[in-house]
Structure 1
């Protein structure tokens, strides 16, 4: 029987606990199946399978361990298998037995051997057919559940650790901003700067990993808003008409606090970039959130164009002011006819839709010349300038020479 039941195990861990409760409850013919966790001196229901009885027993309900069978079972005063609870003197003396006629319960152990809680089934009426084989099946399924709960606890522990790191990073603002010049090919002068984040927190990781981990633990928008606020504080140091580009995900762009970041700043010098890798669930909602800002002069850019289908979809749905060609398209554009053709097509599209093309990742003079020959006028990359600290960026913006040293 157990082999037959396990053969129908669901394919994902997230469904395992609920499936186990339903399967065991039906197999034993019981009214209720649940998993509890011991929290201090309480038994807290974490998962419940109780068709038709949801108002009487549900996840989150808690009972004192003095009022339920759990502690007595763990300490040997009650058996795990009770076909008729009224025949057990300890159970018969407890008020809860007025509602429970039959009961099967086994402990759930954490990986270190401590008791997490109990896996229980009960019915209001006695069930004389319950036997040791049923208890064996219950124990086998309890082992499956315990393994899943152990994985969940490990994930939760890791998530809390990540949350702590991200919260600490936000509180201490343990990051800095560098500025990648966007350069006019013909004057060799910057027309704007893209703000990039560098994190000083440990462990040492690239910015995308920090932002992804923050998103994984529900703090992605908090971190982005903190970083953006810091970036925009430096904007007024730059000369008039010099644009400042910032990167933000869809959730941040639609957050109630996003628009307030620009209070007192010239909207016509602000460019907001949406990356190709950002998943946009509702383009209409995002466009509506950005419309008031764009009407004030803020420009929208789609980053990493040409890197994949998403960027093209972003372009069609968001109608950006700026299209940034991904470095995968720019790299070797001088020797790759297919890349040149695609870049030319993107340029034609931009002209017909009123957008501007900016090429990213330019590292060779030959690539620059090929882009110029296509008619592209602006770009960024190590050939033109590496990201600069604020003082060097202001010097370059004011007419000085760009540093070739990476910041």
Structure 2
């Protein structure tokens, strides 16, 4: 789930307001955004000095209304959503009785610093919705008041430091890049973007998120390569040996421009071990009030420019990190649920295997079967199960379970027919794979290498396959002509069998392009000394075309549907001749066929 639009607007507002020396212009940005998001017809925002307005901006206000509003003191502590108190506070916005009757809800919220100092007030009135301002609207305006207060309070410090202003302007240019990550569905990407903004804005070497759990501090996310610090994601250390626990306890300042001059930093071994020169850190608090850890940034050298503005920047970003951590926790909980659900499919009765005949297209003789997995009661089918297992890190476990079940089919498959077993490269590289095939009759096994992701290391894969092929097990490459089963892939692995992808088989009889590619693969397989098998043969026209092109074998519904081997008579010949000979009725109502024909449409098993 992406970061909300309102959160993005608050981040935009903060970055835009920080360093804005023209207070009237800053207030105009605030009230424009407040009225735009809440759809208020009018509103005003002002800063006060000595109980009187010092700067003001408005939307939709008359001079008379502004004159009445100007001397009105700030209403400190007005609770957002307390509509009666808010109505009393903003009475100046509704001078005429008729106008007052048209106002369904009015609201006043303070412009307040993080230290709870009231600087002014934001007023909104006249919602366009008959139901008034929603709670979401009011919470947004309250948050905007806090963001405006933080930014306006920081303005004098920024004005005193041109170098700091230039760095924040750089951060503004980077902000659009960061927001793209915040809009992504992946919370991990959003956190990476936030850390990049933190690191660039503060002009430090590294930004990171730590987690405090019990007496341990762990590094959860880091903005870039942190080898120079000796840190990496997942690294743990005692909490009392890191900065984070002291920072959240208030014993270590949020901003340490020179770690060598700070007593706590100076005595901690991590300062020397990681060569820490400067540090900025703020707590990360979850929406339910739990302390998660800290959002921090460090450098190897002291940085005299660091100050309160850098702390405020991290406070804003830590709230966004907190939102993403909530999403990650939700994803983790959902993952645990899905994990429990999918693991039930490996229990007895969850996984079964069927066999689909592989047939010589000229003779109709069955030369082998492909073992295919079936999962009881799963709505997404086998491909959906394997995809879900891969997402949960269980693909290899599921493939090994299917391989084991497929080997159990051998007694029901007549010798010398072979059984083709499916495995991905990752499964072939698993140390459990070799022992699983050790006792199988090698001359009756074909290993069908499936490709769903790119092969990470061909040298390791070739070594593992050589060990298997040395025993006499043959190698097949699945889905030739699509995906990762490219010609270079085939040349590298030099398989015994090449399987023509179903996308090339379908409609090959009526598509010259498909026929040309299939014909090329026939010649390619012949030059390699490999057998070519067409998958997905579903019509007699496809069968005839493929056979005429020189394809040796095929499989598909037209030649035989997947079924339990015990229900198939694999010794009989599949009829591959004239389709018209199927016209004579059988006694049981099935289409006519020669006596030794294996029907392609078997009764349901």
On whether the aligned pair clears a TM of 0.5, the verdict is yes
Aligned residue in 1 for 2:602: 404
Partner of 2:381: 206
- Using the alignment, how far apart are the partners of 2:317 and 2:417 within structure 1? 65
Q: Which has the larger radius of gyration?
A: 2
Q: Distance in 2 between matches of 1:81 and 1:123?
A: 12
2:216–2:237 Cα contact (<8 Å) kept: no
Q: For each residue in 1:46-105, what CA deviation from the matched residue of structure 2 results, as whole angstroms up to 9, or x when unmatched?
A: 3578997648xx94123269x9445645xxx999679999xxxxx99xx77966999864
1:127 to partner: Cα distance = 9.5
Out of 19, 23, 28, the position equivalent to 2:196 is 19
Matched with 2:413 is 238
Q: Describe the shift of the 1:206–1:134 C-alpha distance in structure 2 as closer, same or farther (beyond 3 A).
A: same
Deviates more, 1:123-132 or 1:338-347: 123-132
Match of 2:236?
A: 60
* Aligned mates of 1:52, 1:293 — CA distance in 2: 43
Q: Please, which runs of 5 or more residues in structure 2 have no aligned partner? A: 1-164, 182-188, 272-276, 573-595
Q: Does 1:283 align with 2:283?
A: no
- Kindly indicate whether the alpha-carbon contact (under 8 Å) linking 2:199 and 2:297 is maintained by their aligned counterparts in 1: no
Q: Greater shift after overlay, 244-253 or 17-26?
A: 17-26
Deviates more, 1:130-139 or 1:100-109: 100-109
Partner of 2:522: 347
Whether 1:180 and 2:378 are equivalent positions in the alignment is no
Deviation at residue 376 of structure 1 after TM alignment = 2.7
Q: Distance in 2 between matches of 1:46 and 1:186?
A: 61
SS in 1 for 2:499: strand
> Mapping of 1:362-401 within 5 angstroms?
362-393=537-568, 395-397=569-571, 401=598
Q: Which residue of 2 aligns with 1:46?
A: 220
The one-character-per-residue Cα deviations of 1:280-299 (angstroms, maximum 9, x if unpaired) are 23333322221232232211
| C-alpha distance after superposition, 1:112-170 (max 9, x if no partner) | 55432233468999999865433322212223332443344344444444444444433
Cα deviation code 1:353-384 (max 9, x no counterpart): 21111111111111112222223342111111
Number of residue pairs matched by the alignment: 390
Q: 1:356 to 1:255 in 2, by over 3 A?
A: same
Q: How far apart, in 2, do the equivalents of 1:313 and 1:124 lie?
A: 47
Of stretches 212-221 and 315-324 in structure 1, the one that deviates more from structure 2 is: 212-221
Alignment counterpart, residue 7 of structure 1, candidates 146, 153, 173: 173
Shift of residue 316, structure 1, vs aligned partner: 1.5
Please give the residue correspondences for 1:238-317 in structure 2 after superposition, counting only pairs within 5 Å: 238-308=413-483, 310-317=485-492
What secondary structure, in the 3-state scheme, does the structure 2 residue paired with 1:225 have?
helix
User: Quick one: distance in 1 between partners of 2:340 and 2:313?
Assistant: 40
Report SS of the residue matched to 1:334. helix
Matches of 1:42 and 1:276, distance apart in 2: 42
SS at match of 1:140: helix
CA–CA separation in structure 2 for the residues paired with 1:406 and 1:295? 40
The separation in 1 between residues aligned to 2:303 and 2:527, in whole angstroms, is 77
Describe the SS at the equivalent of 1:293. helix
SS of alignment partner, residue 295 of structure 2: strand
Asked whether the equivalents of residues 212 and 218 of structure 2 are also in contact (C-alpha less than 8 Å), the reply is: yes
User: Cα gap change, 1:25/1:308 in structure 2, threshold over 3 Å: closer, same or farther?
Assistant: closer
Q: Deviations over 1:207-257 (max 9, x none)?
A: 223223323333222221111011112212211111100111011112222
**Residues 22 and 187 of structure 1: is their aligned pair in 2 closer, same or farther, counting only changes over 3 Å?**
same
For the 8 Å contact 1:199–1:205, the answer to whether it is kept is no
2:284 paired residue number:
108
1:197 deviates by 1.0
Which residue of the other structure, out of 511, 517, 529, is the alignment partner of 1:336? 511
Deviation at 1:335, TM superposition (A): 1.8
Aligned-partner Cα distance in 2 for 1:385–1:269: 20
| Secondary structure of 2:239's aligned partner | strand
State the TM-score, normalized to the length of structure 1.
Answer: 0.79
User: 2:258 & 2:196 partners in 1: Cα distance?
Assistant: 26
For 2:161, the equivalent position in structure 1 comes to none
Please point out which of 490, 493, 499 is paired with 1:318: 493
Normalising by structure 2, we get a TM-score of 0.55
Partner of 2:531: 356
Deviation string, structure 1 residues 172-207 (Cα, Å, up to 9, x no partner): 5621111111122344342111011112265x2232
2:359 corresponds to 1:193: no
The reply on whether 1:133 has 2:309 as its aligned counterpart is: yes
SS in 1 for 2:562: coil
The question of whether the paired residues in 2 share the 8 Å contact of 1:48 and 1:59 is answered with no
Secondary structure of the structure 1 residue equivalent to 2:383: helix
- Given that 2:202 and 2:310 are in contact with CA atoms closer than 8 Å, whether structure 1 keeps it comes out as no
CA distance in 2, matches of 1:161, 1:153: 13
Higher relative contact order (CA 8 A, sep 6+): 1
User: Residue 322 of structure 2 aligns with which residue?
Assistant: 146
